[in-house]
Amino acid sequence: MSGRRTRRSPTGAAPGFDLGRRWYTCGVTGRIVIVDPRPRTPTGRYPAKAVIGHPTTVSADIFRDGHDVLAARVGWRPEGESKWRYAPMADAGNDRWTATVEPTSMGRHEVRIEAWTDRFATWRRDVMVKQAAGQDISVELEEGARLLDRRAGDVPTSDRRPLAQAAVALRSRPDGGGLVEALHPNLAAVLATVPDPVDLTRADPIPLWVDRERAVFSAWYELFPRSEGGLRATADHGVPRAAAMGFDVLYLPPIHPVGASHRKGPNNTLHAGPDDPGSPWAIGNAAGGHTAIEPSLGTIDDFEYLVQAAREHDMEIALDYALQCSPDHPWVKEHPEWFHHRPDGSIKYAENPPKKYQDIYPVNFWPEGEGQREALWDACRDILDHWIGHGVRIFRVDNPHTKPLAFWEWVIPAVQRDHPDVLFLAEAFTRPKVMAALAEVGFTQSYTYFTWRTTKWELRNYVEELAHGPLADYMRPNFWPNTPDILAHPLRNGGPAAFRQRLVLAATLVPSYGIYGGYELLENVPASEANEEYLFSEKYEVKHRRWDVPESLAPLVTRLNEIRRHHPAFAELSNVRFHGTFNEHMLAYSRRSADGSDTVLVVVNIDPFAVHEDTVVLDLEALGLPAHRPFTAYDELSGAVYTWQGSSAYVRLDPSTAAHVFSLRQDVAVP
């Protein structure tokens, strides 16, 4: 994106810029160049993402010919408002300029970068050099006075008097005695913040979507209401259990009526017994479709009771948004054109070869017939509106990559225009570019490849890509070590130590993470060596669990969520920094809050089978710590306190311990 000049003169002249109060048309680039702005999505067509209460860094490359001093600022405003708020930009080196903005309202915003030549700062720099060299500066003094005269018309009225006084001083002392007043830093600071219309250049506005806090920082817990005994039992037992562990989002798989046709039995078998509940993702029967509730779970009143119970525990309900149907869904009879038909006239069921889902019909999102696509998409939006009306503000979207990108590009902004607090989590276990595109068009968060990243270098490279690469502007990761579909390799074979390690990594590497209920009970029996699903999967049967077993990881889960809430550094993504380790099984990384008040260091032994020790090479600058003074490292998990000094720290971790989560403090008394 190149800079553009101010688009119209005060009298409505052709596009151009004011040079000495005359207007000249110019090309796209112009005198001052503004390129590579961030935050920004790849196309710039969709908004990057920000959060209320979280500073957002805006940056761009800004330069011009020659050696004149530049000034720049960033403006932002909610879309539709006329008033801009501004923050000055600073040159961070190599022509990269940065500033911090902090929007105060949700919804779509505009961000605009402006730059101009700071002629007074240029004059000030040059005249100081010439004076120091003993040169005649009488002409320069008049030049400075004229600059101040001209700029007096651009600054606020309250700042004009100091400019006039400085101009008089320059003219009254041709020997240079008036420089003291003209060179005062306060005067330069005032002029640096006021654009100079001579070559004021504005980049095209960047769209920015501002979410609420939970969009970036959340801890999710997934459970099946039917295994709890229904919606009301979930409210009475599941909600308090999840809240006690410190979770703030309770995610429910589909709670809609389950189809009877081709209902699956245990372990995805083709023949269900009379008491088999079937897959909740086979949505719809005579009781209704996506806006109805499975009768065995309860009623809409029970659901509202659940939503209220979650609120009373400072939690939210996230509902599954799965756009697919069982053969018994009302849409199949009412709108057969909304499905894919085979040559023999039958409707095509879902397949992910070699897997077959005879109990599920995929929806054809591009049906033939006038108005059919519009009618289908409106019906899909109506589902969201229905549940929003019953208190749901978070949706976990099932397989969004199997629906057209154009649908999400339309439906997410359509919903958020009326309800900017609604969040969407993409279950996008798909190709990287598709996953990124879904995030770009509007998904609030996304599942990631964390589930399959296991080695030190895989984890480090992947997190750095998410936190510091272009994806950081618009894709928010949500790390899940397991799901009802995925029993990842480390959990199968690593025993309790692997569960601890993967839990710590998920909870501390990124701001949002989740676990599927049963994780804390160390459930890890796979369907087979080749199948990454669970044996006796809860997707096809009701689970009756004992939650109070001694080996439960619930205490560790609870402590980690307490640590996350206590340390604001964990609420940010861009602050993660990795530190050097020599042992391939030891991973060390830190997080430091934007204001520098909170610093944490995490060290994880990622080998579940052996004790490992190592010397961590600390990046003291990233940690905000001095090299010459001692500091404390308080282990938030064990309660142990260590005194360190310098950039080397020895650590030793048993698999049963798994990790250190250190709070670093500069409160050690110097001897």
pLDDT digits 0-9 by tens, 60-84: 999 999 999 999 999 999 999 999 9
pLDDT surpassing 70 at residue 21: no
Q: Which domains does the chain have, with CATH numbers?
A: 1-116+200-211 (2.60.40.10), 119-195 (1.20.58.80), 220-324+365-570 (3.20.20.80), 574-665 (2.60.40.1180)
Minimum mean pLDDT range among 253-257, 353-357, 533-537: 353-357
Segments in 403-455 forming alpha helices (H): 405-418, 432-441
Helix (H, G, I), strand (E, B) or coil at 496: helix
Whether the link from the prior residue into 354 is cis, omega within 30° of 0, is yes
| Maximum Cα–Cα distance across the chain | 103
pLDDT surpassing 60 at residue 670: no
Give the pair of three-digit tokens for residue 70: 């530049």
pLDDT tens across 416-452, in order? 999 999 999 999 999 999 999 999 999 999 999 999 9
CA distance 492 to 477: 24
pLDDT tens across 628-666, in order? 999 999 999 999 999 999 999 999 999 999 999 999 998
Q: What do you get for the CA distance between the two ends of the chain, in Å?
A: 56
Confidence of residue 17 (pLDDT cuts 50, 70, 90): very low
Q: What does the DSSP assignment read for 153-168?
A: TTS-GGGHHHHHHHHH
pLDDT at 33: 95
CA distance 240 to 252: 15
Point out the residues that are catalytic: 398, 427
Mean pLDDT of 560-587: 97
pLDDT at 29: 57
Q: Which residues does residue 479 pair with via DSSP β-bridges, in sequence order?
A: 513
Distant-in-sequence contacts of 452-455, Cβ < 8 A, 24+ apart: 452/488, 452/489, 454/489, 454/490, 454/606, 455/584, 455/606
CA distance 511 to 216: 6
Distances in whole angstroms, Cα of residue 241 to Cα of each of 21, 238, 564: 69, 5, 18
* CB atoms near residue 509 (< 10 Å): 26
Percent of the chain with pLDDT over 70: 94
Q: What is the H or E stretch that residue 503 is in?
A: helix 495-509
Minimum mean pLDDT range among 6-10, 77-81, 424-428, 611-615: 6-10
Q: What is the H or E stretch that residue 98 is in?
A: strand 96-101
pLDDT tens across 212-222, in order? 999 999 999 99
574 and 512 in contact (C-beta within 8 Å)? no
pLDDT at 158: 87
Residues in the chain: 671
pLDDT surpassing 50 at residue 367: yes
Nearest residue to 445 (alpha-carbon basis) of 470, 466, 475, 471: 475
pTM for the model stands at: 0.92
Mean pLDDT of 183-205: 91
pLDDT at 12: 35
Confidence of residue 19 (pLDDT cuts 50, 70, 90): very low
Residue with tokens 């403090």: 665
Q: Which are the contacts of 471, defined by CB distance < 8 A and separation ≥ 6?
A: 436, 439, 465
Mean pLDDT of the chain: 92
Q: What is the H or E stretch that residue 601 is in?
A: strand 599-605
Does 170 or 578 have the greater pLDDT score? 578
Mean pLDDT of 121-127: 93
Q: Which phi and psi (to 5°) does residue 245 adopt?
A: -85, -5
pLDDT at 23: 35
550 and 278 in contact (C-beta within 8 Å)? no
pLDDT at 175: 65
370 and 335 in contact (C-beta within 8 Å)? no
Confidence of residue 668 (pLDDT cuts 50, 70, 90): low
Helix (H, G, I), strand (E, B) or coil at 401: helix
pLDDT surpassing 60 at residue 277: yes
Does 165 or 228 have the greater pLDDT score? 228
Nearest residue to 10 (alpha-carbon basis) of 118, 160, 156, 153: 153
CA distance 176 to 146: 15
